Chains A and B, each alone.
Chain A
Amino acid sequence: MQPVATTFFFYLLSGLALLGGVLVITRKNAVHSALALILTLLALAGLYLMLYAPFVAGVQIILYAGGIMVLFLFVIMLVNLERSQKEEQFNKQWVIGTVAAVVTGILFVLVFVKSKELPNLVREHVAQLPEQSNTQQIAVFLYGNYMFTFEIASLLLLVAMIGAVVMAKKRI
């Protein structure tokens, strides 16, 4: 299946993603920030679909938007943030921080532009990506080449789970 109107959807989705990103870091209310982040995540899922990565897009939706963000919203509702809304939102070094971040971004773009691979990036040298069996291929990678990494990741999740329970529980 060939994606249609690629240019339009790319600009739409990346615009939404960036808009969401800006809202995340500027909103006073944490719930609004979280909702903006969800917008970004969904837009990114759309971009993944356009990049022939349907499985990653699905995981993005089900895990990020459906799981992690619900956790965020849950915690925001649990801790009462009304007081923090009235306080100063940005710390004292916000000018330096912003400048440093922007400089990093410019550096990145410069690296892309100056690199010898740029013609490659622009010319769209496309690898043979099996679109119809994307999930199957990823599965083969996950349970083949990256078996050990996969196990480590599951261990990491276990550790994180125990850690979260230990820290969030009132009394153990």
Chain B
Amino acid sequence: MKPTTYISRLELGEKDETFLDSNELIINMGPQHPATHGVLRVILKLDGEKVLGTECVIGYLHRGVEKIAENRTYAMFNPYVDRMDYVAAVSNGLGYCEAVEKLLNVEAPPRANYIRVILAELNRIASHQLWLGTHALDIGAITPLFYTFRDREEILKIFEKYCGARLTTHAFRIGGCQYETYEGFEKDVKKFLNFFKPKIDEYEELLTTNRIWVERTKSVGVISGKECRALGVTGPVLRASGVRWDIRKAQPYAAYSDFQFEIPTGQNGDTYDRYLVRMAEMRQSVRIIEQAVAGIPEGPIMAKIPKVLKPPVGEIYHSIEAPKGELGYFVVSDGSTQPYRLRVRPPSFVNLQALDMMVRGQLVADVIAVIGTLDIVLGEVDR
């Protein structure tokens, strides 16, 4: 069979008569490109340096996660979700476990919930650190990457000590946690928090008032709250546009209702605001972890659940606030040991839809900045 080549709709479109035709370039950014965070392919239509239109081609990392779920038992599928957003594996696992727990009608014990919150928030910090490093690298500041990776290492060490894995942690089980916290877990977490608090200031010192950084990010990739809602964009992107929406507050899950924290929001919905929001979120995460470590209750870490999971017939949608936005699981059960259908609502995928709206009419360099600020992970976009 002849291999088919992909023809972008941009190439098929009508030629704009007001421009020199030679000025219009169609260039392929990716799938192998240093700034597309994996295997995203963006087809750009350029007039000189100005972007006339974009088209994302995804699917280079498609593994059929949702289809795999239909052929695995509920417990067997649990590790697979870690491979979606591999920089925030804990949050992915948390969402899945809670969805299935809801379907089974069990609740994780409070101690498990606290452990879940601590790990999920640590993971949020790790994810934001990775975002900050790569985003700054895309914009040309190479140093923050190494600073954030140095500090992220400490979080990964805690993960490794807790569950033996650094990245694809598989930290939680349906019904609670499998592992009790190790000896000195609280001490490690507290030590990390004390170590990390000044580091946020260090990052901010490098970037927040850096004139070039501000010029590169202010009023770049602006998106209003209304547009965000129309596209279903969630997470820091939505909050930076001034919408106070955080599932941790709106529909508290795990133990989030026990903690005091604020939802940082921005006003302009530009890249700079998204940067500030994420920096503030890291501080809030530190605050949550501090409260959680202080108030962690004693007790069991696993709810009583049957050995073989056979949820009653029904369907459930459960979503959590992942570092990148609303991460939802829609699980349909036919009463057997395997899900009849499992659908993931990945925040990266939904947020990526805003790319075209955000970069149209701006410059090529802004496309890079916007891809960075959307904080997409291709594993999650393609699933």
A residues whose Cβ falls under 8 Å from a Cβ of B: 78-80, 170
Contacts and interface: CB of A to CB of B under 8 A. Distances in A.
Interface residues of B, number: 6
A80 B19 contact: no
Interface string B7-20: 00000000000111
B16 to A, nearest CB: 11
Contact of A170 (B19, B21, B22): B19
A36 B28 CA distance: 33
A170 B20 CA distance: 9
A80 B21 contact: yes
B22 A80 contact: yes
A78 B20 CA distance: 9
Contacts of A170: 18-19
Given A80-B22, A170-B18, 8 more contacts: A78-B20, A78-B22, A78-B23, A79-B20, A79-B22, A80-B20, A80-B21, A170-B19
Interface of B: 18-23
Contacts of A80: 20-22
10 contacts: A78-B20, A78-B22, A78-B23, A79-B20, A79-B22, A80-B20, A80-B21, A80-B22, A170-B18, A170-B19
A80 B25 CA distance: 12
B72 to A, nearest CB: 55
A158 B18 CA distance: 28
A51 B328 CA distance: 81
Nearest to B47: A170
Contacts of B18: 170
A80 B18 CA distance: 16
Nearest to A81: B22
Contacts of B20: 78-80
A164 to B, nearest CB: 16
A103 to B, nearest CB: 39
A65 to B, nearest CB: 25
Contacts of A78: 20, 22-23
Contacts of B22: 78-80
